[in-house]
Amino acid sequence: MYDRYESPFCTRYASDEMQYVFSADNKFKTWRKLWIALAKAEKKQGLPITQQQIDELEMYKDQINYDVAIAREKECRHDVMSHVYAYGVQCPNAKGIIHLGATSCYVGDNTDVIVMREGLCIVRRKLLNVLSLLADFAMKYKDMPALAYTHLQPAQLTTVGKRATLWINELMMDLQEVEYRISNLKLLGSKGTTGTQASFVELFEGDDAKIKAVEMDIAKEMGFDSVVPVSGQTYSRKVDSFVVNVLSGIAQSASKFSNDLRLLANFKEMEEPFEKQQIGSSAMPYKRNPMRSERITALARYVMSDSLNPAFTAATQWFERTLDDSANKRIAVAEAFLGVDAILNIMLNVCDGLVVYPKVIEQRVRRELPFMATENIMMSAVKKGGDRQALHEKLRVHSIAAAKVVKEEGGENDLIDRICADPAFGLNRQEIEAILDPAAFTGRSAKQVQEYIDEIVSPVLKANAGVLGEKAQLSV
């Protein structure tokens, strides 16, 4: 269809798997599962519902007669009742007990929670795979010295692998939040029109134990341990806000990674994978633009902005419920998941083929290392009888002169030549070169990588080994 708007999430970015989670088909099939769970629970507590009726509902749970539902909704203007009607057409013997005692939010809200959990499980799996790729990368390059930056200015050295642990650590924090949300999601249950369960009080003649048992049976049937303790007609919209905030957190971490990689590509130290037939620019054939990383940045910006939608929705619900949540949440929540799914797909692709240029990294280190090594050079000269204060002043003067050559004349850093030529230091070039071993300036970087991966990351990956090894297929 080229004559109407289509979401880029569907045509370019999000996976088929995540798109199905938020599809109409998954939603309406989940509605039917919930109606079956309700009927089973009510039958168990003594309502006049037969096994034959439940069997009939089970028979058609995945065979949705969409044409009937669509036609009926045009008449009644109510999506839930149109599907109750359509289900009843297929199940004439059970039509009288479908949705018994429930309000629309019984299927709508419970389905939303179920769908969010399904989406979070996909996000969790992909996040683990990204972490696995980055952990391998960190270990491979744990010893390779590289310039570290503060204020985007060269600072002390780090290693390529140590920098990767910064990306990993933020994603590990996100994983913890995802797992917390998955484990703490609760169904709305069967709360009735204003959350008082009044209809169920009528059905069960005020038997509290039976009313509570129905809710717990529904929860168990749908794979949950519990339901929300109190509610209005809906579950608190803060739940949506909490979930989308977790997705926003992943977007933040991914954007940090992609921005770092874009800067490193500019420095020519690292690059994202570049396919043989890939075109970097329509005008400049030589270019290798970091288009995947740029896409991560773009999508992350959208997801982070989108997190405001559920926050405002939660803040503006009146009393037991208003319907100004519906149109917003069905867009905002779904697209946050689709956005993060797309981001993680790209990260899987990028992290599986990160390109490192050791010679460039070494060259950039060598250009800056003389400045960083001045204190060590000064200490070595003092050991040979030099005056610390006098040497400090000479190093200051030499450093300013060398920086001028680099910045104003476009020359190479000649600080070491200046020090070698100054007899006050009493050091020859060989002695100074020995001081300039980059590995001596990376601190505990390599050990930190080893410890962090071994103690923190690997146990998580080993516990989830069954979901690792996923490859991303990008549409465009």
Can you tell me the distance from the alpha carbon of 199 to that of 92, in angstroms, rounded to the nearest whole number? Answer: 24
287 phi and psi, to 5 degrees?
Answer: -75, 145
* Catalytic residue positions, numbered: 151, 281
The three-state DSSP-derived secondary structure of the chain is CCCCCCCHHHHHHCCHHHHHHCCHHHHHHHHHHHHHHHHHHHHHCCCCCCHHHHHHHHHCCCCCCHHHHHHHHHHHCCHHHHHHHHHHHHCCCCHHHCCCCCCHHHHHHHHHHHHHHHHHHHHHHHHHHHHHHHHHHHHHCCCCEEEEEECCEEEEEEEHHHHHHHHHHHHHHHHHHHHHHHHHCCECCCCCCCCCCHHHHHHCCCCHHHHHHHHHHHHHHCCCCCECCCCCCCCCCHHHHHHHHHHHHHHHHHHHHHHHHHHHHHHCCEECCCCCCCCCCCCCCCCCCCHHHHHHHHHHHHHHHHCHHHHHHHHCCCCCCCHHHHHHHHHHHHHHHHHHHHHHHHHHHHHCCCEECHHHHHHHHHHHHHHHCHHHHHHHHHHCCCCHHHHHHHHHHHHHHHHHHHHHCCCCCCHHHHHHCCCCCCCCHHHHHHHCCHHHHCCCHHHHHHHHHHHHHHHHHHHCHHHCCCCCCCCC
Which residues are CB-contacts of 361 (< 8 A; sequence separation ≥ 6)?
Answer: 144, 145, 146, 147, 160, 269
